[in-house]
Amino acid sequence: MLEEKLTENFSSLLRENRVFPAPADFAAKAHIKSESEYEALYRRSVDDPEGFWGEAASELEWFAPWKKVLEGEFPDAKWFTDGKMNLSHNCVDRHANGALKDKVALLWEGEPGEVRKITYGELHGEVQKFANVLKNIGVKRGDRVAVYMGMCPELAIALLACARLGAIHSVVFGGFAAHAISDRVNDSACVAVITQDTSYRRGSEIKLKAIVDEALQKCTSVQHVIVYQRSGSPVNMVEGRDLWWHEAVAAASAECAPEWMDAEDPLYILYTSGTTGKPKGLVHTTGGYAVGTYLTTKYVFDLRPDDVYWCTADIGWVTGHSYVVYGPLQCGATVVMYEGAPNWPQNDRFWKIVDDHQVTVFYTAPTAIRAFIKWGDQWVKGYSLASLRLLGTVGEPINPEAWMWYHREIGKERCPIVDTYWQTETGMHVLAPIPGAIAAKPGSATKPFFGVVPEVVTKEGDPVPAGQGGLLVIRKPWPAIARTIYGDHARYVSSYFSEIPGSYFTGDGARRDEDGYFWLMGRVDDVINVSGHRLGTMEIESALVAHGKVAEAAVVGRPDEMKGQAIAAFVTLEEGVEPTDALKQELRQWVAKEIGALARPDDLRFTQMLPKTRSGKIMRRLLRELATTGTVSGDTTTLEDFGVLAKLKETDE
Ligand code: WTA
């Protein structure tokens, strides 16, 4: 599998020779001003990780000091052992009690256009009140609380309130369907759900509360549902279970001291796709995650006190956890949150927000940039964008054309671009340029962040020479790595630490060039990346076979200009079922209903059989090739039935 994927990925390698040095005026004011300064600090971080990370941690507030910065090795490394702290204290109280009390912490814009500004002082009050609401319904330290909301300040407040009490939040992205919520709620036995009536997206309302009601029919652990009133649209409130956010907050006391959390206590669970049908509930802990997100935000975004920082990611994904909530708030930034779609009411909405709020740091996904390019430069032209000083991307490799457009049309050839590579598992950026120090090469995530030791290796774990592709691993623990998969530590160990013993295996292919720059080459497992959203092909397959008319299904990713990857499904039907176009649409819709619209297959083909090896394994390489090119040229000697290929081609759309 690994080898097969690598060979495929190598054939689509990016080759890009342009280099864009950090602009001199930017570097002069940056935290880290030159490559040699980066190199020296990097060397120190690797030679003396305890000294380096201990100093970083000292920039935060601890209730009790740690005994040891780093203890143990993969997969059981522990950070800041016995140290006590609280993330809501470091995100909010630390600033509210100091010079930033009246600074805007959250600057929110709703899709219909309303704006709310919440200062650190006000946020302090809101978080304490909502923490008391949770306390009043019996939520306590260690309890799991699911959160299913749209992008609004209350979502950030909900997370911070959980963190304050030591309750473990589990955010389910608002685009997931009822079934996905119930699976996640049940997996970690959540005691409460925080949601809202509806949320606005592209002018229509997403009925979040109604979806929660449907999901909870299959959940027994949930005692309470708290509903934030966003739109006022009617919802069904279940007597004894559901309560309104505003009513509960009005009755709650204004003071709630933060719990003293152990550095290794869980902060949250976030489910992500793996190579099986069951999403993994990755568990992030308190101290190491706090320090990792704090330091990467400070250095990779070169954050300064006067920055207005906007990461467009939804808080439902890890990017929103680390770089909308925990990182920038720990840094005391003004964090912009926008509720809706980039093309509502028109394609210029993002640029209008940048100008209206004088955004200085803007962080988005390549898939969004490709959409802007498609919509045309005219949507950007009317805006000055002069407030911007740094741009970032995340989630997938950025193609050099998109990079150049971003650089020219948005950054006006003035702003450095940070291409940040990381994962739900890593918690923080692991490869990313330090903007005042590292020259950018379009399409490369450049160099490791401090303390991160990446390497490109063969299947056997041996380093490959510069310029050659291989598997991307990380050799040494870093503080923000997820510590386990909720309820399944064995799966954690086998998923990440068994492929290359002694190292963390990312699941990505990469190559390192002669200058030490890393170039990501896509996943080498069955995870696909659709519009920057991570999905497992097995999850989609399980959803398809759960439909009564489907006998077997195989799902692969194929390259797509806009989305990065598109979803191609091959389906065999139960005996006697007619393969009609109507059924095709029904099955695509079925997947959207089971998982969420983001998982709806782009292509769906019926076939009488799936190509299998003699040992019965589906030959995904052939399917990928067929989905991509419409033909198959590779080695088919292990194919069980050559006739299958001919049949697959016949049913090609
Ligand atoms: C991919 C998102 C290339 C990669 C933060 C990784 C990237 C997966 C980049 C994690 C990047 C993320 N360049 N590929 N800058 N950033 N990826 O867990 O395949 O949703 O393994 O975390 O996205 O996706 P996840």
Mind listing the pLDDT tens digit for each residue in 385-405?
Answer: 999 999 999 999 999 999 999
Is the pLDDT assigned to residue 581 strictly greater than 90?
A: yes
545 carries a ligand binding annotation: yes
**3-state SS string over 466-496?**
CCCEEEEEECCCCCCCCCEECCCHHHHHHHH
CB of 74 within 8 A of CB of 492? no
Residue (of 20, 45, 7) closest to 449 by Cα position: 45
The atom number, within ligand 1, closest to the CA of 432 reads 15
Instruction: Out of 364, 422, 524, give the residue to mutate to test ligand 1, the one with the largest number of ligand atoms within 8 Å of its CB.
Output: 422
ipTM of the complex: 1.00
pTM value is 0.94
Report the pLDDT value the prediction gives residue 613, as an integer from 0 to 100: 80
What number is the average pLDDT over the span 236-253?
Answer: 98
Tell me: the pLDDT tens digits for 42-54?
Answer: 999 999 999 999 9
**Rg, the chain, Cα only:** 24
Report the pLDDT value the prediction gives residue 612, as an integer from 0 to 100: 84
Tell me: the pLDDT tens digits for 453-507?
Answer: 999 999 999 999 999 999 999 999 999 999 999 999 999 999 999 999 999 999 9
Tell me: the pLDDT tens digits for 316-354?
Answer: 999 999 999 999 999 999 999 999 999 999 999 999 999
The atom number, within ligand 1, closest to the CA of 534 reads 20
Report the pLDDT value the prediction gives residue 305, as an integer from 0 to 100: 81
Residue (of 238, 243, 256) closest to 130 by Cα position: 256
* Band (276; pLDDT cuts 50, 70, 90): confident
Is the pLDDT assigned to residue 540 strictly greater than 50?
A: yes
Report the pLDDT value the prediction gives residue 616, as an integer from 0 to 100: 79
Ligand 1 geometric centre to CA of 394 (Å): 7
What number is the average pLDDT over the span 410-428?
Answer: 98
Report the pLDDT value the prediction gives residue 328, as an integer from 0 to 100: 98
Cβ of 363 below 6 Å from ligand 1: no
Ligand 1 geometric centre to CA of 64 (Å): 35
Report the pLDDT value the prediction gives residue 499, as an integer from 0 to 100: 94
Report the pLDDT value the prediction gives residue 231, as an integer from 0 to 100: 98
Domains of the chain plus CATH, in order, are 65-101+115-284 (3.40.50.12780), 527-650 (3.30.300.30)
Tell me: the pLDDT tens digits for 108-148?
Answer: 999 999 999 999 999 999 999 999 999 999 999 999 999 99
- 115: which strand partners? 109
The atom number, within ligand 1, closest to the CA of 533 reads 20
Report the pLDDT value the prediction gives residue 506, as an integer from 0 to 100: 98
Is the pLDDT assigned to residue 635 strictly greater than 80?
A: no
Q: Rounded distance, CA 267 to CA 292, Å?
A: 14
What number is the average pLDDT over the span 370-394?
Answer: 97
SS3 at position 586: helix
Is the pLDDT assigned to residue 12 strictly greater than 50?
A: no
Is the pLDDT assigned to residue 8 strictly greater than 70?
A: no
* Band (631; pLDDT cuts 50, 70, 90): confident
Is the pLDDT assigned to residue 650 strictly greater than 80?
A: no
Is the pLDDT assigned to residue 632 strictly greater than 80?
A: no
Report the pLDDT value the prediction gives residue 640, as an integer from 0 to 100: 59
Report the pLDDT value the prediction gives residue 1, as an integer from 0 to 100: 60
Write out the two tokens for 570. Answer: 């091959």
What number is the average pLDDT over the span 17-46?
Answer: 96
CB of 29 within 8 A of CB of 493? no
Report the pLDDT value the prediction gives residue 652, as an integer from 0 to 100: 47
Cβ of 568 below 6 Å from ligand 1: no
| 366/4: higher pLDDT | 366
Ligand 1 geometric centre to CA of 32 (Å): 25
What number is the average pLDDT over the span 433-442?
Answer: 98
Cβ of 320 below 6 Å from ligand 1: no
Report the pLDDT value the prediction gives residue 307, as an integer from 0 to 100: 96
